[in-house]
C-alpha cells in the first residue's frame, strides 16, 4: 500500500498535458478553468473564498476574474449588507462554457477508458471517499 500515493501522482502527471490542451480549445487558461470549476451557478462565491480555493493571492484572482468577466462568463456582485465584499457568480454563458468544457474533459479519458464500467464506478467511489474524508492534522 506504500505505493498508492505514487500511483495517484503518476495518474495526475500522466493527465497533466491534456488539461491545458483542452482548456486552450475553449480559449481558457488553466487558472481560469480552475476558477470556473470552483464556481457554482447556484452559489456565488466571495473573492476571498475563491482565492483560498485556488490557492493563490487575492490579487491573482482579480486578474483571473477580470478576464472571465470580459468574456461574459462571470460577473461580480456586491454582497448585501457588506458592499466591501464582492462575490463572483457564473452567468448563463459561464454555465454553458463550464458544461461544454466539462463534457469535453471527461468524454474520453485515455487512462481510464480501458476499465470496465464497474471498475470505473469503483475507482470513482474510492476517490470520492478519499476526497471527502476529513484531513488529519
pLDDT digit string (tens) for 21-67? 999 999 999 999 999 988 877 778 999 999 999 998 888 899 999 99
In a domain, 114, yes or no: yes
Query: What single string gives the DSSP state of each residue in 36-77?
Result: HHH-BTTB-EEHHHHHHHHTS-HHHHHHHHHHHHHTTSEEEE
Q: pLDDT tens for residues 96-111?
A: 999 999 899 888 787 8
Amino acid 135: pLDDT: 67
In a domain, 76, yes or no: yes
Domain count, the chain: 1
Q: pTM of the entire structure?
A: 0.78
What is the CATH classification number for the domain harbouring 80? Answer: 1.10.10.10
Max CA pair span of the chain: 52
Cβ proximity of 82 and 98 under 8 Å: no
* Residue environment code for 64-79, b if the CB has 16+ CB neighbours within 10 A, otherwise e: bbebbeeeebbbeeee
Amino acid at each position: 500500500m506504500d505505493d498508492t500515493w505514487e500511483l495517484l501522482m503518476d495518474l495526475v502527471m500522466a493527465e497533466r498535458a491534456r488539461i491545458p490542451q483542452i482548456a486552450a480549445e475553449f480559449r481558457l487558461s488553466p487558472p481560469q478553468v480552475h476558477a470556473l470549476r470552483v464556481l457554482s451557478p447556484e452559489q456565488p462565491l466571495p473573492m476571498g473564498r475563491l482565492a483560498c480555493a485556488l490557492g493563490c493571492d487575492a490579487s491573482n484572482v482579480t486578474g483571473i476574474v477580470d478576464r472571465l468577466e470580459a468574456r461574459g462568463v462571470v460577473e461580480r456582485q456586491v454582497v448585501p449588507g457588506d458592499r466591501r465584499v464582492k462575490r463572483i457568480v457564473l452567468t448563463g454563458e459561464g454555465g454553458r462554457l463550464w458544461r461544454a468544457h466539462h463534457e469535453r474533459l471527461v468524454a474520453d479519458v485515455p487512462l481510464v477508458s480501458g476499465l470496465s464500467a464497474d471498475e470505473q464506478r469503483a475507482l470513482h467511489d474510492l476517490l470520492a471517499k478519499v476526497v471527502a474524508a476529513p484531513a488529519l492534522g
